[in-house]
Structure 1
Amino acid sequence: MLFLHGVLLLASFHGIQSLKICSFNVRTFGKSKVAKEGILDVLVRIISRCDLLLMMEIKDSRNQAFPILMKRLNNQSNRNEYKSIISERLGRQTYKEQYAFIYRHKLLSVKRSYQYPDDQTDVFAREPFVVWFSSPFTTVKDFVIIPQHTSPESSVSEINALYDVYTEMKARWRAKVLVNCFLNGLVTMMIGL
């Protein structure tokens, strides 16, 4: 049910500073999931293991569930150590979901974000939400994450189209790029370009 992956080690000049970067398909996260007993506590424990977490499949048209999760996460230790950035609602017709990045703001900051446009070709079931992160504690000071939650029917064409996203982001921003591609539970791959 829950999927967690990825540890990216970025070496610092003062030893090794590792950033735990995770990706998590929360499977239809909304009001009903928040209302279930114990679910928020499990989510908070999972997120707390990560310095940066990509959450996929947030389906909450009124934007009520995600703020509840963030409040619970930050109240767990009374330190308010997490911030987030969330995409607009993405998808075709009535099926819409969001990506969210949750990160420890003492280790990372968001420099920029970009919602890749849904053009005439409509290749992506859910367009990538591109975020440029910065960390003063790692050798790689800046990196960009391009999440993609593909549709099972079009995953090959969506993955191929990520090259266009990558080239556009290289032209737009100067940063190391990490493509994080989640293939709807079938395969996961991290590609450093």
Structure 2
Amino acid sequence: MLRLFVLCLLLISSLQTALADVNIGTWNLEHLSVRPNKDFQSIAKVAKNVDFLAVQELMSEDALNTLAKELTRQTGKHWSAMASHAVGRSTYKEMYGFVWRDDIVAYEDGAVTYLDRGDTFEREPYSARFRSIKDDTTFVVATVHILYGKNQADRASEITALSSYWAWLKDTYPGKNQIMLMGDFNTPPNAPAWSNLDASAKPLMLEGASTLSTTDGKFANLYDNVFVSRQSAIKASEIKVFKYPEYLGMTNAKGRDSVSDHAPIFFRASFTGGRQVAASAAPGSSLPNPMKPASPDSSGKNLTVAIRGNKKTMIYHRPDCPSYNSVSEKNRIDFANAAAAEAQHYHLAGNCR
């Protein structure tokens, strides 16, 4: 009888944990923009299988908002979206984006583009902290699209630099936050370039392929992935490449033309092992503005999200400001937060408002 009682308790505990899980995905949506041949209905039909999605190769904020609206229409639940500013060294630039179901996930704080002082990344990674409404745990999602270049050697320097970026993420989001780095790495997880990051983080996907071949039903490379800390309390399950052409009943050629040449990575995440202090937003309440700078975390300390000042103009820029990356190195000065900049008589840039 005691054994049966213990078994029942274990089953109840397991069920409660499963109910608190969040379904998460990452997807390179190949030049996501509002144009006639981009099939937002099909994209949303796939994306609604998760509660939170990181998007790479976003070309406009309008496109991300269009996706959020279509997800809202299809699920009957409201979805929110937030995008980075455009990043890239040349005239060609991309954005990163996040979309999430408001009754399951809430934006917490700390949305920021990486301060890439060495200018290693063609497209600097983007990150933010979110909260699972199911159990009041917080988690950090960082996303990146590694340069493809002409060959693997062109990608190796950015992959190697992810070790420094990982350390930066831990410093930027202190405490027991649970960090996930996801995106299109244009590099398989067994490449030698991963050796620097390997001591700190591990990939969730180790085999398979996520890029669409020109042959129906075939996939070519495992370039998309998710990395978590080797000491993380995150428990990931049901990790898979979601083969969307089969799910949508379309050919690979049709998928490549109207959806993406990449399939998403989906997984189920449990954050209960790293329980955090409950955040301020609650189901049904208004969400924090994702374009605001970081607010204090549960310890009362501000997240380290650098404010960039221009010593020549005495203007400062938040990471979400359009001119954030336009400040020249010789005129640049960083502040821990807006208050520190204003204490030195700097004023917020007009295009940040």
> Would you call these one fold, judging by a TM-score over 0.5?
yes
Contact 2:54 2:183 in 1 (8 A): no
Change in CA separation of 1:169 and 1:78 when aligned onto 2, cut-off 3 Å = same
Q: Cα 1:190–1:90, aligned 2, differ >3 Å: closer, same or farther?
A: same
Q: Deviations over 1:19-61 (max 9, x none)?
A: 21111111111132xx227x1110110111111111111123x
Summarize the Cα distance change of 1:115–1:13 in structure 2 as closer, same or farther, 3 Å threshold. farther
1:148 and 2:148 equivalent? no
The residue number in structure 2 matching 1:132 is 129
Counterpart for residue 108 of structure 1:
105
Report runs of 4+ in structure 1 exceeding 3 Å deviation.
none
Distance 1:162-1:45 versus aligned 2 partners, 3 A rule? same
Match of 2:83 in 1: 86
RMSD: 2.3
Q: How does 1:18-57 map to 2 (within 5 A)?
A: 18-32=21-35, 35-36=36-37, 39-57=39-57
**Structure 1 residue 13 displacement after superposition:** 8.5
In the TM superposition, what is the alpha-carbon distance from 1:181 to its structure 2 partner? 4.2
Of structures 1 and 2, the larger Rg is shown by: 2
Q: Aligned partners of 1:108 and 1:65: how far apart in 2?
A: 21
Q: Which amino acid aligns with 2:28?
A: N
Q: Which residue of 1 aligns with 2:285?
A: none
Partner residue of 1:75?
A: 73
SS of the residue corresponding to residue 93 of structure 1 reads coil
Gaps of 5+ in 1: 1-10
Unaligned runs of 5+ in 2: 1-12, 187-210, 212-220, 230-353
Task: Assess if the C-alpha contact under 8 Å between 1:178 and 1:192 holds in 2.
Answer: yes
User: Per the alignment, do residues 92 and 104 of structure 1 end up closer, same or farther by CA in structure 2, a change over 3 Å counting?
Assistant: same
1:143 is paired with a residue whose SS is strand
CA deviation digits over 1:80-117, x for unaligned, max 9? Answer: 2x111111111122111111111111111121211112
Q: Which has the higher helix share?
A: 2
TM-score normalised by the chain length of structure 2: 0.46
Greater percentage in strand: 1
Comparing 11-20 with 125-134, greater Cα deviation is found at 11-20
Task: Give the whole-Å Cα distance in 1 for the aligned partners of 2:27 and 2:227.
Answer: 17
